Each structure stands twice: as C-alpha cells, then as structure tokens.
Amino acid sequence: MSLVAVLPVKRFAAAKARLADDGLSPGQRLAMSTGMLSDVLAALRQCRLVDDIVVVTSEPGAEALARGAGAQVIADQPQDGHSEAAARGIDWAVADGAFHTMLISGDVPAIDPSEIDSLIESLADDNELVVIPDRHGRGTNALFLTPADVITPSFGDGSCERHRQLGNDAGASVRVVESEAIGLDVDTSADLDALRHQLEQSDGRVAPYTRAVIGRLGAQ
C-alpha cells in the first residue's frame, strides 16, 4: 500500500531565527536550512517504501531543491503555519491514492533510510498514528498516518502529547516511537552541538550537505 512523504517547508528567511541569537548570520542560517533539507530529501529518495515525496512550500529555494530531488511541489501560503502546510500535503497525498502519509521535518538531516523503511514496514493496515517526538519529548518531528488522513496534524510546542490525544479521539491506535536520528532537529545552538556530535560518531556518508555546512561554521 502506497506511502507519500510530506515535508512542510517554510520560508528560509524566517528559518532558524533562534540560531541568530547564538551568532549565526543570515547567510549561515540559510546554508544550514538548505543543507538539512537537501540531506532529508536525499535520504527519502533512498527509502524503498516511500512511493512519492511532496514538499509544501512558498520558498523558491526549497522548491528548486525539491524538484532537483524529483519531489512533487505544492504551493504554500506564506502566512500559514506548519500545520496548515502539512494539511495541504495530506490532501494531495489522499488525492494521489496514498494509504499512508509520513509527515517529516525538513531539518532532521541525520535520518537513516533503513530506519524509515523499518518504520513503514511496521505500520498497521487500519487506523494508526505513529508519533516520533523531538529529542526533548515535547514536539513532533515525524508522524505516520494510517489511513493517510486519520487526523489533522497540530504542530508546535507540546505537539507530541497533542497528536497522541488527536489519535485517541480519532479511534486510532497510537504509538510513540523514539528515534535518535529523527528526533534531532536543529533550532538552537544546543541542538546544533548535539547534531555535530552525532555526525562525528556516524558514518561519513550520513548528512553530507549538513556536515559540509557545519565544517565551514567550525572553520570561522
């Protein structure tokens, strides 16, 4: 049964604002955003069980990266948030005939295609929601929906518990699965340090674009 991966991607100019407080320039934050998205797209293309990828964005740079990776692109409304963009992607996936959707953040560059495939293989054939929290256990970095529109997502602070409740309200089986790679998104300097450490411990082929950006940051 088919699965569509949905990536809501907001404008790069507004991305990673908290990293500005830690001294990263607009150009450095842009490089981080594009590097991480490039790595996520490349990893998803390697997944055996991801049938299609759709990027929901109003950012021209993200659109160019998506098309270069062979992904579909849906226009987003700049004023809308992450949840609205995700809902647009779900609507597209349902219209495309997807049975499952995977909503995943564009800033989790260390993801492992084999782990994604294993998660997909574990999905149920009826109502189910799989929540992958961030490393703090509060936010949501990935959602697996069966059927593809079993809930309307609600991202933001506290979304892990909120998604759990939405799944329960929809009568779905809910699983919360922790993943070191998927759980590591980058919003703060502490996150960036954690990612740097994780990449130092990993195979050099993991997250090559982000690894290169971090290398340049360290050289300055």
Q: Is residue 175 part of a domain?
A: yes
Tens of pLDDT, residues 5-17: 999 999 887 777 7
Predicted confidence at residue 204, as pLDDT, reads: 83
Tens of pLDDT, residues 152-168: 999 999 999 999 999 99
CATH number for the domain spanning 154: value is 3.90.550.10
Q: Of 215, 193, 205, whose CA–CA distance to 43 is shortest?
A: 205
Q: Is residue 219 part of a domain?
A: no
Structural domain for 15, as ranges: 3-214
- Higher per-residue pLDDT: 81 or 219: 81
Q: Is residue 220 part of a domain?
A: no
CB 149 within 8 A of CB 94: yes
Q: Is residue 106 part of a domain?
A: yes
User: For every residue of the chain, which 3-state class applies, written as one string?
Assistant: CCEEEEEEECCHHHCCHHHHCCCCCHHHHHHHHHHHHHHHHHHHHCCCCCCEEEEEECCHHHHHHHHHCCCEEEECCCCCCHHHHHHHHHHHHHHCCCCEEEEECCCCCCCCHHHHHHHHHCCCCCCEEEEEECCCCCCEEEEEEECCCCCCCCCCCCHHHHHHHHHHHCCCEEEECCCCCCCCCCCCHHHHHHHHHHHHHCCCCCCHHHHHHHHHHHCC
Q: pTM of the predicted model, to two decimals? A: 0.95
Tens of pLDDT, residues 158-195: 999 999 999 999 999 999 999 999 999 998 889 999 99
CB 186 within 8 A of CB 16: yes
Q: Is the bond into 26 cis (omega within 30 degrees of 0)? A: no
Bridge-based pairing of strands 100-104 and 72-75 is unpaired
Number of domains in the chain: 1
CB 106 within 8 A of CB 185: no
